Amino acid sequence: MSQAVSMNSNAQGGSRRRFTVGIFLLAEAAALLLLLIGTGGMVSTFVLASKRAGVDIAAPDLVIPTWASILAVAIFVGLAGVWQLIKGFKRYTNAVLITMISLGILLFLIWAARDNSLNLTGMLVSSVISATPIALAALSGIYSERSGVVNIGIEGMILLGAFLSVVVASVTHSLIIGFLTGILAGMLLGALHAVLSIRYRINQIISGTGIIILALGITNYFYRAFLNPNPALNNSGPILASLPIPLLWRIPVIGPILFNQSPVIYIMFLLILFTHFFYNYSKWGLRIRAVGENPKAADTLGINVFRLRYISVLISGGIAGFAGAYMSIGQIGFFQESMSAGKGFLGLAAMIFGNWNPGGAFLGSLIFGFFDSWQNKLSILQVGIPSEFLAMAPYIATMVVLAGFVGRSRMPAADGTPYKKGEA
Amino acid sequence: MSKISAKPTQTNPQEVQGHSFWQRLFVRKGVSEGVLLPILAVFTALVIGAFIIAFSDLETLAAWGNFFNNPLMALGTTFVTIWDAYTAMFIGAFGDPGEIFRQLGIWIKTGESKQLLAAIRPVSESLMLSVPYILAGLGVAVGFQCNLFNIGAEGQLYIGGLATAFVGYAVHGLPWYIHAPLAILAGAVAAGIWGFIPGILKARFGAHEVINTIMMNYIAYRLMDYLLNGPMKSGGTPATPQVLPTAILATIFPSPVRIHWGFFIALGMAVVVYWLLWKTPFGMELRMVGTNAKAARYAGIPVQKTMVLALIISAILCGLAGSIHLLGVDHRMMTSFSPGYGFDAIALALLGNSHPLGVVLSSLLFAFLRGGASRMQVVAGTPVEIIRIIQGMVIVFVAAPEIIRGLYHLRSSRREKKSAAPSASKS
Amino acid sequence: MSLLMELRGITKSFPGVLANDHIDLILNEREILAILGENGAGKTTLMNILYGLYSPDAGEIFIRGSKVNIHNPRDAIRLGIGMVHQHFMLVPVFTVTENVMLGVESTNGAGILDRKSVSKQIADISGRFGLKVEPDSMVEDLSVGVQQRVEIIKVLYREADILIFDEPTAVLTPQEAEEFFKVVHSLVDQGKSVIFITHKLKEVLEIADRITVFRNGKVVGTTTPAESTEASLASMMVGREVILTVDKKPSSPGDVVLDVADLHVMDDRHLEAVKGVNFQVRAGEILGIAGVQGNGQKELVEAMTGLRSCTVGKVTLLGKDISRASPRTIRETGSAHVPEDRRCDGLVLPFPIKDNLVLNTYYEPPFSRGFNLNGDEIIKTAEQRVKEFDIRTPSVFLPASTLSGGNQQKVIVAREFSRPIKLLIASQPTRGLDVGSIEYIHGQIVKKRDEGCAVLLVSPELDEIISLSDRIAVMFGGKILDITPAKEATKEGLGLLMAGIRSNVQTETA
């Protein structure tokens, strides 16, 4: 959805960008150096052991001398900045940038854990958990936008999925039926968005916004009308337990993060792999991509543009509904007003970050998930920064990503443009 | 000069030359659409809303469960439920007409005004609510005119309110004619910054303003959480101290009627926005950029600068919604300050076709709906969120007029309609 | 030659326009049929019907004697009809192979795309018909000529027998066009039949076996090259005597108005599009820049109108350095620009005609004073200009989208010419216009020249350049290869230059 209106070719011109990135790296180095204050002689301990399913998975603690490591990395980042200003990393600029930013975040953690200990494994585990709804939202976005339909209404589809899945699960006492309901709910709103965008060709952003408002209204209304007076309808019972994968879950550090999570998270990973495969190696994936890039060309080759777009948007809605069901019955077991909390939008940002590819989108979701979870961990540590500011991190990160700071992204060429048959 | 042309000129014989605003309003979209469409959209939404209200009432549902035994009961209960809800809404919005006339008579005879004030309170409440709607709606509309989607109205509203509240309670010793304007100015500046950031990101980096303004919303909420639980906290709840009396916008009538002078400021801003958009060169540039940014560039218009300015103006207006509502009604900032004025404003701007007059009318409509909805919740037990459902439907109907046209078998306008908000395609 | 395809009574109308009026058409086997007509005459509509993109209101189509119904492109493809559109139907981010197999993909057992076997088949077709392509290259990296080959391969891959080409040489140099005609002959030799749509008279005489002329949605007549001349075809197309050259007196150039020195400009992909260009334009002369689209002309014009900055070099207008100036400043210095895409760049179509007529002067008095926009003044001026330039519209309040192409261009001309200008930059000023409008615009340009204005004309239409220009420059690969006086230029010589082949003539240092 990054629409470049600026036709001034210098806006992202080579030398200008090199300069900006270089200055940024130097600034980061300087900021990191600030962290040195008062950390002399301290050590930061990263606890890597974890306890899952009642079993201790031992791992050595990572003890890092705070002052020395901050200085070392800060100098490293500074040198990178200087190199960037002088020569520039050219093709590797993005990779370098991401690495340096990651190092900076790592350093911030080291500083936060000064004279204290921080359960790093635990943090990563909760990062993946936080990332999951965002990743699912990103996948939802990908399915829709690859076919050329912008879907801002993911937030609303998540909400409706969350709501209906709880109600049905509470009544039927079956989580599976609840999840299916969530998917159907998302598809329902997806169908509405599809009809409005494809058949009536209305502005897709308006359609998406309308869907969010509708979903907010419907869920909050019926929550107050039915769920408040009947709490039994808002209690879907025990949430999905984590499903440890035999053997693998005992691997230190990686085990708890990847192999002992909710089944939904496994489904998410599978979905990511499937999506990548689908779009790059299958016949229908090729056709959908064509519809998203040049619908007129696809039309002249006998491909049914409208049908493929409808299907894509329905799938998009279904995944979003699934994400909503995960957030309600999969994670807490009940529904709260406005519980989607912006995950839909973060998902869209992750999608853009990942250049509309599932792998990249997952990476983006992980980063956002990390920022989401660090607020909890870091406030326990009493870092000294008010937790509200930490909570702003995912949103600021999103804006930075969207500014193309992490490289130019390439959206499907026909994204957002309604298709009219017979247009010359 | 040869005048033969191979292609017939395609002009629409229906078009009329008209200079006046009203003629142009109708001609541009056809009478069947210019005014009729929004009215039908709202009407249809209300009808659907009625059904939702009816069938979320447990009594009605029970009666329908018993339909075959006692069909009249089912229909009757449905009717009563809807009637109760909507009359409650009407009285909540306008007040009881009978009561008003009676009190009017009493006041004329005896000069006793207290009961009269109580009777007209509902109307005044609704008008009071329309103030933030008008301002925020104008803000979103200005954005739309430049093809910019300012979904950040809610956040800008809060930021404006926070800044205004701060100047309002922290600055002492100023007379009212300096204090109040200063507080409002602070709100405008703060909100302007909130709009500047997404604006510059869009203009320079092409980052879509929809997500960025939404992100700024969340950042604003967090900032507000911090300030209201921390440095600005006063008393037990997360809220600022009361602003000083010198910063307050006075009410027009005595208590309990709460309508304040900010109402006229809002109307004034509508006139200002109209003048800005259609009577100044900048306004022409703004609209041009919103319609065809490429041609605007070719015409020499600084497109980036215009976009940033448009978002700043949009944000300032939304910020003013917060500032003025705060100075006129709540007199302090708290977390529950806005029941979603910013999001409602989006629907408003669409319904009003991004035109100041349309926005004012839509704002009044929504304000009355909301005023009524609170009473509906209290008296008839209908959750106030029905308003949001109605809004969502209104958005859908206005954006896709074919639905309404099909529903009511309206003759379609022959001309290409200029849609309420511009297209999402590349400009 | 046996009858292959027959169209009887095909009629198609759109709101307000009767595009095809009872068309009868015959195509024989192994023949090259040219369909000639002006823009808007209905040729493309008819071909779209044949290809299943539109359905006719009335009429029948027969192939090899049996009636057929073509409801969509799939039907057409099945019947052996293939179409190469004027604007290519390719997905830029796909490879050649992916573009070719889209819609008829081969998959192996597991449902996975089989790119390899398709690549092999492409190589096969490529060899048979002389269409060299690299199957794994990305289409967006290919030149226009190669992209056209991909389109042809697409059609042949689907085993078409009837190939329809819509304005195939619009984007080719004269030499590439020759290559293309060779391919067409090769196709016919191997049993295919070809229809090609064009408005270029010379081509039609060169390559067609038969010529069917369209005018205003009707078939005006069918003839052969032996029986026609350019002039006779032109009259059939337009319905009256057409003067094919512009009447103009010789120029008397004055002082240098525009001076371009060593100009380097980057394109949107950060590659150099203009690689060191030098030329001057004097008052009272028309300098025409010829060249196939895509050789840097767009970026050159944008650099001279302030829409794109140059990396190196200097552009001077009337002695003032405008290399880094904004479009507005350049305009105020006395330059006017007729852009190449009038609908997207030159007009704001949903805005009323009156606003479009002051699109770049609304901020100056008398239209504005400070913050005040004077609506009445705008209306008055608009009505004046409509009269003066004979713009056909019942009201200046209507949106510009209601105007025909020719009238839209007149609005732009009216707007630009109503100021005292010293330099006129016209990019493809007559693109997509009917002959009448073309005559009008050409006349206006010459008139400006005679008034002492310097004119820079950029156009891929060689005929237009030759008939209007006093001096002709040829642009290829971002450089100006040569500048010659129009009297000394030959079409062949210019064609060679347009393909990048320098002649032995010394480059005139302007």
Q: Are residues A133 and A216 in the same domain?
A: yes
Rounded to an integer, the average pLDDT of C115-125 is 90
Domain-located, residue B280: yes
- Select from B215, B399, B426 the Cβ nearest to the Cβ of A202: B399
Distance, in Å, from the CA atom of B139 to the CA atom of B354, rounded to the nearest integer, reads 9
Q: In C253-402, where does DSSP find H-type helix?
A: 297-304, 327-333, 353-356, 375-388
Distance, in Å, from the CA atom of A195 to the CA atom of A201, rounded to the nearest integer, reads 8
Domain-located, residue B83: no
Q: Are residues A126 and A110 in the same domain?
A: no
Q: Give yes or no for B304 touching A (CB within 8 A).
A: yes
Last residue of a domain, one of A90, A114, A138: A114
Asked if the Cβ–Cβ distance from A293 to C308 is below 8 Å, we say no
SS3 category, A119: strand
Query: Which amino acid, residue C47?
Result: M
Which range marks the domain in which residue A295 is found? 121-402
Quote the percentage of chain C above a pLDDT of 90: 13
Q: Give yes or no for C89 touching A (CB within 8 A).
A: yes
Q: Flag whether pLDDT at B329 surpasses 80.
A: yes
Contact C321, C314 (CB under 8 A): yes
Number of structural domains (chain B) is 1
Top-confidence residue, A117 or A153: A153
Residue numbers in C near A283 (CB within 8 A): 105, 107, 111, 113
Confidence of residue A6 (pLDDT cuts 50, 70, 90): very low
- Give residue C16's pLDDT: 66
Per DSSP, C194 falls in state E
Closest CA to C354 of C403, C305, C404, C417: C403
Query: Which amino acid, residue C319?
Result: G
Asked if the Cβ–Cβ distance from A283 to C307 is below 8 Å, we say no
Contact A57, A252 (CB under 8 A): yes
Per DSSP, A384 falls in state S
Asked if the Cβ–Cβ distance from A9 to C267 is below 8 Å, we say yes
Q: Which chains touch C (3 or more CB pairs under 8 A)?
A: A, B
Q: Flag whether pLDDT at B146 surpasses 90.
A: yes
C306: closest chain A residue by CA: A8
Q: Give yes or no for A265 touching C (CB within 8 A).
A: no
- Select from A7, A10, A300 the Cβ nearest to the Cβ of C89: A300
Which range marks the domain in which residue B359 is found? 127-367
Q: Provide the shortest C-alpha distance from residue C439 to chain B (in Å).
A: 7
A-contacting residues in C 91-130 (Cβ below 8 Å): 91-94, 98-99, 102-105, 107, 111-113
Chain Cα centroid distance, residue A73? 28
Rounded to an integer, the average pLDDT of A312-336 is 93
pTM for this structure?
A: 0.81
Confidence of residue B418 (pLDDT cuts 50, 70, 90): very low
Locus of tokens 């391969």: C153
Confidence of residue B249 (pLDDT cuts 50, 70, 90): confident
Asked if the Cβ–Cβ distance from A10 to C309 is below 8 Å, we say yes
Residue numbers in B near A221 (CB within 8 A): 52, 56, 383, 385-386, 388-389
Q: Are residues C170 and C71 in the same domain?
A: yes
Contact A255, A119 (CB under 8 A): no
- Measured on CA atoms in the order A212, A218, A221, A224, is the torsion positive or negative? negative
Residue numbers in A near C77 (CB within 8 A): 301-302
Asked if the Cβ–Cβ distance from B8 to C16 is below 8 Å, we say yes
Asked if the Cβ–Cβ distance from B292 to C328 is below 8 Å, we say no
Tell me whether strands A62-65 and A43-47 are parallel, antiparallel or unpaired: antiparallel
Q: Are residues C391 and C405 in the same domain?
A: yes
Query: Phi and psi at residue C337, in whole multiples of 5°?
Result: -135, 125
Q: Are residues A222 and A364 in the same domain?
A: yes
Domain-located, residue B113: no
B349: closest chain A residue by CA: A206
Rounded to an integer, the average pLDDT of A91-105 is 73
Top-confidence residue, A55 or A87: A87
Asked if the Cβ–Cβ distance from B7 to C434 is below 8 Å, we say yes
Q: Are residues C314 and C394 in the same domain?
A: no
- Select from C16, C373, C399 the Cβ nearest to the Cβ of B284: C373
Q: Give yes or no for B150 touching A (CB within 8 A).
A: no
Closest CA to B199 of B128, B269, B286, B123: B286
Rounded to an integer, the average pLDDT of A305-309 is 94
Q: Are residues C93 and C160 in the same domain?
A: yes
C339: closest chain B residue by CA: B298
Cα angle, residue A167 at apex, residues A165 and A171 outer, rounded to 5°: 115
Domain-located, residue B62: no
Phi-psi region of C95 (alpha: psi -120 to 50; beta: other; left: phi over 0): beta
Q: Provide the shortest C-alpha distance from residue A290 to chain B (in Å).
A: 18
Query: Phi and psi at residue C215, in whole multiples of 5°?
Result: -150, 130
- Give residue B27's pLDDT: 40
Confidence of residue B427 (pLDDT cuts 50, 70, 90): very low
Q: Are residues C279 and C297 in the same domain?
A: yes
Q: Are residues C405 and C466 in the same domain?
A: no
Q: Are residues A53 and A160 in the same domain?
A: no
Q: Give yes or no for A281 touching C (CB within 8 A).
A: yes
- Give residue B53's pLDDT: 84
Number of structural domains (chain C) is 3
B-contacting residues in A 91-150 (Cβ below 8 Å): 150
Find the range with the poorest average confidence among A377-386, B374-383, C192-201, C368-377.
Answer: A377-386
Domain-located, residue A259: yes
ipTM reported for the complex, 2 dp: 0.79
Asked if the Cβ–Cβ distance from A302 to C105 is below 8 Å, we say no
Domain containing C19 — which CATH number? Answer: 3.40.50.300
Confidence of residue A7 (pLDDT cuts 50, 70, 90): very low
C-contacting residues in B 398-427 (Cβ below 8 Å): 416, 418
Confidence of residue A268 (pLDDT cuts 50, 70, 90): very high
Query: Which amino acid, residue C184?
Result: V
- Give residue B3's pLDDT: 26
- Burial of A327 (C-beta count, 10 Å sphere; 0-12/13-18/19+): buried
Last residue of a domain, one of C364, C386, C419: C419
Asked if the Cβ–Cβ distance from A13 to C268 is below 8 Å, we say no
CA distances from C332 to A2, B250, C328, C357, C378 (A): 34, 51, 6, 17, 19
Q: What is the pLDDT of residues A358-400, one digit of tens each?
A: 988 998 898 888 887 777 777 666 666 777 887 888 788 778 7
Asked if the Cβ–Cβ distance from A283 to C53 is below 8 Å, we say no
Q: Are residues A350 and A389 in the same domain?
A: yes
Q: Are residues A236 and A355 in the same domain?
A: yes
Query: Phi and psi at residue C425, in whole multiples of 5°?
Result: -110, 115
Q: Give yes or no for A320 touching B (CB within 8 A).
A: no
Q: Which chains touch B (3 or more CB pairs under 8 A)?
A: A, C
Number of structural domains (chain A) is 2
Q: Flag whether pLDDT at B35 surpasses 50.
A: yes
Q: How would DSSP label each residue in C221-290?
A: EEE-GGG--HHHHHHHHHSS----S---PPP---SEEEEEEEEEEE-TTSSEEEEEEEEEEETT-EEEEE
Q: Are residues C145 and C285 in the same domain?
A: no
Phi-psi region of A241 (alpha: psi -120 to 50; beta: other; left: phi over 0): beta
Last residue of a domain, one of C185, C210, C238: C238
Q: Are residues C179 and C207 in the same domain?
A: yes
Rounded to an integer, the average pLDDT of A102-107 is 78
Query: Which amino acid, residue C185?
Result: H
A278: closest chain C residue by CA: C112
Q: Give yes or no for A420 touching C (CB within 8 A).
A: no
Last residue of a domain, one of A70, A89, A114: A114
Q: How many CA atoms lie within 13 A of C313 on its CB side?
A: 22
Q: Give yes or no for B59 touching A (CB within 8 A).
A: no
Closest CA to A267 of A311, A308, A318: A318
Q: What is the pLDDT of residues C43-73, one digit of tens each?
A: 888 888 898 888 889 999 999 888 999 988 8
Average pLDDT, chain A: 81
Size of interface A-B (CB pairs under 8 A): 175
Last residue of a domain, one of C176, C204, C238: C238
Q: Provide the shortest C-alpha distance from residue A350 to chain B (in Å).
A: 11
Domain-located, residue A55: yes
Q: How would DSSP label each residue in B79-132?
A: HHHHHHHHHHHHHHHH--HHHHHHHHHHHHHH---HHHHHHHHHHHHHHHHHHH
- Select from C77, C111, C308 the Cβ nearest to the Cβ of A302: C77
Q: Give yes or no for C246 touching B (CB within 8 A).
A: no
Q: Are residues A223 and A96 in the same domain?
A: no
Per residue in C33-42, is it b (16+ CB within 10 Å) or e — as a string? bbbbbbbbbb
Query: Which amino acid, residue C464?
Result: E
Q: How would DSSP label each residue in B299-311?
A: TT--HHHHHHHHH
Distance, in Å, from the CA atom of A107 to the CA atom of A64, rounded to the nearest integer, reads 11
Confidence of residue A188 (pLDDT cuts 50, 70, 90): very high
Closest CA to C179 of C131, C126, C128: C131
Asked if the Cβ–Cβ distance from C107 to A301 is below 8 Å, we say no
Residue numbers in C near B297 (CB within 8 A): 307, 327
- Give residue C359's pLDDT: 86
Q: Are residues C121 and C161 in the same domain?
A: yes
Closest CA to B181 of B240, B261, B127, B106: B261
Q: Are residues A236 and A339 in the same domain?
A: yes
Residue numbers in C near B288 (CB within 8 A): 348, 351, 359
Residue numbers in B near A213 (CB within 8 A): 343, 346-347, 388, 391-392, 395
Q: Are residues C32 and C110 in the same domain?
A: yes
Q: Give yes or no for B272 touching C (CB within 8 A).
A: no
- Give residue B178's pLDDT: 86
Q: Are residues A133 and A59 in the same domain?
A: no
Q: Are residues A80 and A128 in the same domain?
A: no
Which range marks the domain in which residue C186 is found? 3-238
Domain-located, residue B328: yes
Phi-psi region of C423 (alpha: psi -120 to 50; beta: other; left: phi over 0): beta
Radius of gyration in angstroms for the set of CA atoms belonging to chain B, rounded to a whole number? 24
- Give residue A418's pLDDT: 80
Q: Are residues A186 and A244 in the same domain?
A: yes
Q: Provide the shortest C-alpha distance from residue A379 to chain B (in Å).
A: 14
Query: Which amino acid, residue C389?
Result: F
Confidence of residue B14 (pLDDT cuts 50, 70, 90): very low
- Give residue A395's pLDDT: 83
Q: Are residues A156 and A66 in the same domain?
A: no
SS3 category, C42: coil
Cα angle, residue A397 at apex, residues A391 and A400 outer, rounded to 5°: 145
Rounded to an integer, the average pLDDT of C4-15 is 86
